[in-house]
Structures are given as structure tokens and as C-alpha cells.
Homo-oligomer: A and B are copies of this chain.
Amino acid sequence: MVSPLSPLWDARAVAVVGATERPGALGRLPVSFLQRYGYGGRILPVNPSAGTVLGLAAHPSVAAAREATGEPVDLALVMVAAARVPDAIDDCAAAGVPVAVVMSSGFAEAGAEGAALQDEAVRRARAGGVRLVGPNCIGTVGFATGQVSSFSPLFSAEDVPMPDAGSVAFVSQSGALGYGAVSLALARGLGLGWAVNTGNEADVDAVEVLTELGGLHGCRALLGYVESLGDGEALRRLAALGKPVALLKAGASEAGARAAASHTGALAASDRAVDGVLRQLRIARARDVEELLDLGDAFEQPRRPAGPRVAVVTTSGGSGILAADAVAERRLELAAFSPATTAALDAIVPAFGSAANPVDITATVMSDPALFDRCLDVVADDDGVDAVVACFCVLTGDDVDRMVDSLARVAARTGKPVVVARTGADFLAPKAAAALRGAGIPGYPTPARAVRALAGLWETRPRAAAPTAGAAHVGAPPAGPDEVALKAMLAGAGLPVPRGRVAAGAADAAPAVAEIGGRAVLKAVVPGLLHKTEAGGVALGVTETDAAATYERLAALGGEVLVEEMVDGGAELLVGVAPTPLGQVLTLASGGVLTEVLDDAVFRLLPVTEEDAREMVADLRGAAVLHGVRGRPALDVEAVVRLLVGVSDLVRGWPGGYELDLNPVAVLPQGVRVLDAVYVAPADGG
């Protein structure tokens, strides 16, 4: 079955609503581009007042075009003034057009009136069974079919290096930046197969288009520029395709997010939550257009690292150090060579080089083809090496072919990805870039860029299956914020809370303390009292002797008194759940008074797997404290992992919008304890 959005890149007939022959008019461009780039389908100019457009008969409406040709129209490009767009959508619906790309501007980006017009266009599209791309977009391109259904001035340039049959898809919310990026991709020779601009995303968004492109057999990699990310579940489906995805998500800073909000009307998600969720779903996050295209180059070649262990082979010590710096920055590892590899390298690498990793073979070895080959082989054959970064500097013409042959051979033989940093100008070796690309070896101008692209390959490795919905017990959320009831619910779900109970009265306080071993925390449980400690509502280290008096003092605050086991030592964490635009997100943070200041927090989309939970702990900046610092005992990381998965299971099925804070959670050498818990119901009371 043809996928619903495939007319964006593979339509049998394209109607151009608002087509005109007038030089300089935007409505001329898609017609001329479809002609110029060899589109093989039917081009149908729609313009009631034009006889022909660029030699093609114009039709008064899309429906009339459908009628006149007797053939289905798969795609309409709508380029009329904003006010006339709703009627144009009706026309598309009448003609049975499944997808309309609304290129006109003057919609949500232009204020309230435009937003209403946009809503109306979407309403008509939905009523008429038309999927709407845009409005306020620059169109789409299928490179294999020559379908340049776009008005980007990029395609007016004299020499556009159009790719033959690329396997990389690029989808951009932004039109101008998107086609700027497309031009850079074409200039570097990246094998683009599809380019789609989604504009205001009134109906179809970038993630949906990427997901559909990812389902195509010939599509090998997915790149996206997005300013807003709607639904975490949609991202999960995109990631589940198993093809590498890289997203440049703009609005990372607060200032950037404000700009995003005023630009697209999209509310900014908390950027760190976005970071965590993309990491969880194995989607690489690019920080700039160049990095996005660098990742495209890495994704285009078919080899994937089996692990994070990188061997660096360099003709320049300096490049090797810069590569090692980037390996650390991107959480890859410098491979530790086997003794056999080290011995073999010692025999090859000259005295003034280095046989450790990074392997500095110096320019001397480079001039000896057999030695260079042998060196690469030895390194790539080491079972402890998952990928190779080869660094060159002033590489001149003569050396290029030999180097490319060696690298391509070792990559093909071992199946391990090999990337190149060539820190030298093209004028030194004018054929090097094309030779590398032809051999399937991604090349970058600096060691850092090469390593970051390799890191993207590792970050997009497949993940273990997501938990199947419904596998865990699904219960109702808490009725209210009551700590005692909430802790009972946690305990019922097998999550560790301190032993203890509510004292029945002052006389019952000492027995309650005795039951848990003679040393207790007493807490005032008062509805609405969120900051118990500040209000004097918590007493630590209470014994049987002072239990009754302490009870009286706390009860005077107006509620019940909870007597709990005193938990000493260990580290404090926060575990929480909060709503974000991506959905309910699980948070793990370094706890105590510094939580809010130091912002050491990690986020994952719910539900989480054990693998997710383990990675959350590992990603915490303060993780070292869990593993025992300066002679302190190691703490129970496994219990933290169980707690995270347990919380994920507990909240399954709860309607979204709530907040849950387990803070602090004490992490002990054996086990964890949820010392305090707060639940905040969704604002709508749901």
C-alpha cells in the first residue's frame, strides 16, 4: 500500500494552485523546477485566469484538472493568498487529492487572525480527507523522481549538484534554514533522497513525516530540524523503526525557547527533558546544522559500532590528542588494546611515534603503504576495538588513493565503521573528499567532528524492547496529597518506605517508637503543610523517653503524627514524575538542599525499562557518590534501579498531568528508603 504521505516525494500528478508564468512570481517556481529537474509525472497548473503556464495548459480548479485529465491528482501545492486557502482546500477535497502542501504565509505565524484562518483550513482538510502540510512552508523534494515541488530559490541556482539516488531523508520545520541546510548537504555530496519542509505544522508534523520516510525500504537514515516536539509516543514510534535518527532541536536555551514560542506558537519543552528522552530513545541530538549533516554522513555508510571503544590512528600527535579529547567529551571510550595488538604495533610504529591509543604512526609510516596497511589491520582486528578514527593533516594528492584504499578495505573486511579526520585544505588533495565518499568512508575536517559523528552512530544503536503496555499492575492514582496514604500505596507496590505508623495519641507514641527499635523520626502530617521541616514539623532522633512530649508538640500543628524508622547515612536522591510536552517524564536528581541549585537531574519518558533506569543512574553527574567516594561505602545502585522501574510500573495508567515527588530518597549501602512523598493531582483534577 502506498503510504499516506508518499505524494510528498512520489506523486503521479502535482497540481500547482496559483501557478503563473509571471517572472519573479513564486507561483512560477514549482512548475519550472518540476520541468527543469525531470519530474516524470503530470504537472497541472491551476489558475482560472491563465491559459497556459510555461507551456502547460492551466486549469480553473484542481477538480477541473482531475476531470480534464481523468487521472488522480496525488498532490496539490497551494500558493494562493492566505484568505483563499480554505476554499482551495475544499477544491482539493472535491478532486480527491490526499495531500495538500500549503505554501502561503499569513497564518498562525502572523497573529490571531491568521491562526483562525489556519484552524479553518485544517478543519476543511480534515472534513475533506486531505492531509495538510504547512502552511507557511517551502515545499518538498523527492530527489529520485526529480519531484522538486518547492519554490526554494536554491533550485534556481546555475549549478545545483543534485544527488542521484540518495538514502538520507531530511525533514525541517523551518523553510529557509531547512533549504539552506539542503544546499549545504548537496554541496558536500551527502546522498539526500528526500527533503520535506513542514512549516507551521498545522496538521502534519516533522516527526510524522520522518516516521513515514523511515518506513521506506531505500531510506537508510533520518535527519530532522525541529523547534517543537509534540508527543513522546510519536518519537518512540520513530525510534522503533530501527533506522538512525538525528534531530537538531532548536530552542535549547531559555532565550532560544522564548524565540521558538514567538516563532511557532509551540511551547518549549524543558530542554533537559528533551535531552534525556532523545538519549533514552537512541536518537542523536545535533547542536548545529553542520553537526546534523556530519551525522548524516556517518549514518549513510552501512557499518555500525558494536560498542563505544574507539581506536585512533593518526599521522599527527596533535590530531590524536584532539580526537582523544572528543572521545571523552562524547562519552565514547579509547579502546584498551590487547597485548597482542600492542606487541604488533610496537614492531611497526617507529620509535618517535606512539603504539598506545591514540596510535601515532607519524608521517613516516604513511609514506610506507605496507606498514600503514598493517597498522590499520592490527588495530581494527583487535576485539576490543569497535570503530576506528583515522586522522590526517597535510595529506597531499599522491597519498590519497592509497589511504582511501586501505581504509575502505579494512572497513569492508572487519565490518567496523571507519571515519576520517582530514585537517587540511582541499587544495592540497582536491580529489580526497570525493574519493573518501566514493569508498563509503565519512570524512570530516577536524578530529572533534569525526569523533562526534562516530558518537552519533553509537548513540543511535538499537535499544532493548520497550516495556509492553499493560504488563504491570495498573492502579488508580492517589486520591490526595496525604503522605501517609501515599506511602501506604508505595509500600503496597513493593517500594521501600521507612517502617512506622501513625501514633494513636501521645500515650501511643513511645510504643510506636519502641516497635521500630527505639529511635525514630516523628513527623506532623497536616493537610496543606508542604514544608514540614521549615514549620518545625519534623523531629529527628526521638527516643521512647521524649516520644510523648514530641508528639504533643507536633500534634499541636493540627494533624496526625507519623512515627517512622530513623534512616541515617547514605546519599539523598530525588525521584519524581512530572508532565512535559513530551508526556509524563521520570526524573532522577541528586537530592538534598543543593538539588535546585546544582541541577543534577536526568529525565526519561515513562514507562522505563531496567536498561533505562540503569542509564539514568549512570548519567547523573553525582553518580560517583553512589559508588563510594573517598573510602565511604558503595551504595545500593541496584535498589535505585528497582525503585525507578517500580515507580514507572506504579504510575502506569494514571491520567497525565500529575506530579509525584519522592524526595528525599535515602540510598543506603543496602537498599533505599523513600523518606518523603508528595503527589500533586493534575490541574483539571483528573
Contact = CB atoms under 8 A, between A and B. Distances in A.
A180 B290 contact: no
Interface string A325-342: 101110000100000000
A184 B445 contact: yes
Nearest to A319: B177
Contacts of A259: 317, 320-321, 324, 354, 356, 358
Contact of A325 (B136, B256, B448, B630): B256
A424 B136 CA distance: 20
Contacts of A597: 621-622, 624-625, 629
A181 interface: yes
Interface string A561-590: 000000000000000000000000000001
A394 B152 contact: yes
A183 interface: yes
Given A289-B445, A327-B255, A356-B262, A393 B177 contact: yes
B352 A174 contact: no
Interface of A: 105-106, 109-111, 114, 136, 152-154, 156-161, 172-181, 183-184, 186-187, 225, 227, 248, 250-256, 258-260, 262-264, 287-290, 315-322, 324-325, 327-329, 334, 351-352, 354, 356, 358, 360, 363, 392-394, 396, 423-428, 445-449, 590, 592, 594, 596-598, 600, 621-622, 624-625, 629-630
A114 B263 CA distance: 63
Q: Taking the full assembly, how many copies of this chain does it contain?
A: 2
A179 B446 contact: no
Contacts of A260: 321
B256 A287 contact: no
B425 A186 contact: yes
Given A153-B396, A594-B594, A622-B598, A263 B352 contact: no
A328 B394 contact: no
Most chain B CB within 10 A, of A334, A360, A594, is at A594
Nearest to A160: B427
Best-surrounded residue of A254, A322, A621, A630 (most CB of chain B within 10 A): A322
B425 A184 contact: yes
A322 B156 CA distance: 26
A325 B255 CA distance: 7
Given A173-B318, A596-B630, 6 more contacts: A227-B317, A252-B325, A252-B328, A259-B320, A263-B320, A598-B600
B328 A254 contact: yes
Contact of A322 (B175, B256, B329, B449): B256
6 contacts: A180-B394, A184-B424, A187-B426, A250-B322, A288-B446, A592-B594
**3 closest A-B pairs by CB:** A174-B318, A253-B328, A180-B393
A2 B111 CA distance: 67
Nearest to A186: B425
Nearest to A255: B324
